[in-house]
Amino acid sequence: MNTNTPDPETVPGLDAQAAHRWRALARPASPWLHEEVAARMQTRLSWFREQPGSWLHWEPVLGGLQAHQQLRAQLPKARWFVWSERLPQTLAAIAEPHPVGGWRWWGRRRSPPSTVLPEGEQVAMLWANMWLHHEPQPQRLLQHWYRQLHTDGFLMFSGLGPDTLRELRAVYAQQGWAPPGHALTDMHDWGDMLVHSGFAEPVMDMERLTLSYSSAAALLEELRTLGRNFHTARPAGLRGRAWRTRLLQALEDGLPRDPQGRLLLTFEIIYGHAYKPQPRPPRRAEQAVSVDDMRALLKGSRR
């Protein structure tokens, strides 16, 4: 557990060190749910009249390797870049074929035309799928993304909202346990942060997905691909087999089920996009004018 003094710009209740450690883990593949959300976000790209001529994919392995290939196919003439905390491994993963619906999609294997965004260069679109909800300092990151976009460029992002895992949170509360995760940000607050970061015309929407699982063990296995418990009040140290047995039983007994008897979990998915507007002209310095001078000016203007 992080015992350092909390940063005022860090999400309350989120252990920043734990989040960074999890994001640095090697991943053999992108989570299924992230690929699904990316596919839904891609349909929103058609809303824009002008398709971007360049784009930056923020952490493609976590955001979706299939989505990365599909974006390249959707924007064949656009220059693309990637950002990753594990850049060599990410570039290797991008070069590999990725399974789609049980088949392996081979596509064209070619060397990336560009990888890291050069210092001072900007792009027309920044794509960040399923990242912001476990970012310890989201306001700083939004401001960084703003600087990486050129004027009239746009940001597209998605993440988890506060109704995510509401059934799991209810089970933990019933057992008297600390929350299974930190509180997630509401979409209206994301809109406010976008404006505060300099973005214009933010558009936010959300949907709730209900996923079903054959067992509590299968549910936990998938949740481990999506994140960890980053709550600062989580128990310290590792848990034993007795704890896992108790947790599985609590989930089997406490989670709702569909008519087929499968366990149900809700995921609230938040989508957002916003533009980087034209820079505003600098304000002129204020000038003090006496009442007598103002009267003289007004009289002169009448003449």
Which residue type, as a one-letter code, is found at position 134?
A: H
Tokens of 27: 């991943």
Q: Are 155 and 131 in contact (CB under 8 A)?
A: no
pLDDT in tens, 1-58: 343 444 446 788 899 999 999 888 888 899 999 999 999 999 999 888 889 999 999 9
What is the pLDDT, as a whole number, of residue 220? 96
Q: Which residues pair with 155 in a beta bridge?
A: 126, 274
What is the pLDDT, as a whole number, of residue 236? 80
**CA distance to 41, 60, 84, 221, per residue, from 64 (Å):** 12, 5, 12, 19
For 232, other C-beta atoms within 10 Å of its C-beta total 17
- Between the CA atoms of 42, 47, 49 and 50, what dihedral angle is there, to the nearest 10 degrees? -30
| 263-275 and 149-160 strand pairing | antiparallel
Sorted by where each begins, the domain ranges of the chain are 16-161+183-209+269-281
Q: How many CA atoms lie within 13 A of 55 on its CB side?
A: 26
What is the pLDDT, as a whole number, of residue 301? 47
DSSP helix/strand/coil, 88: helix
Q: Per-residue pLDDT tens, the chain, 303 aa: give them.
A: 343 444 446 788 899 999 999 888 888 899 999 999 999 999 999 888 889 999 999 999 999 999 999 999 999 999 999 999 888 889 889 886 555 443 343 344 444 445 788 888 999 999 999 999 999 999 999 999 999 999 999 999 999 999 999 999 999 999 999 999 999 999 999 999 999 999 999 999 999 999 999 999 999 999 999 998 999 888 887 788 999 999 999 999 999 999 999 999 999 999 999 999 998 765 555 555 566 665 655 555 444
Q: Where are the alpha helices (DSSP H) in 96-233?
A: 138-148, 166-175, 187-196, 216-226
Is the CATH number of domain 16-161+183-209+269-281 3.40.50.150? yes
pTM (predicted TM-score): 0.83
What is the pLDDT, as a whole number, of residue 111? 40
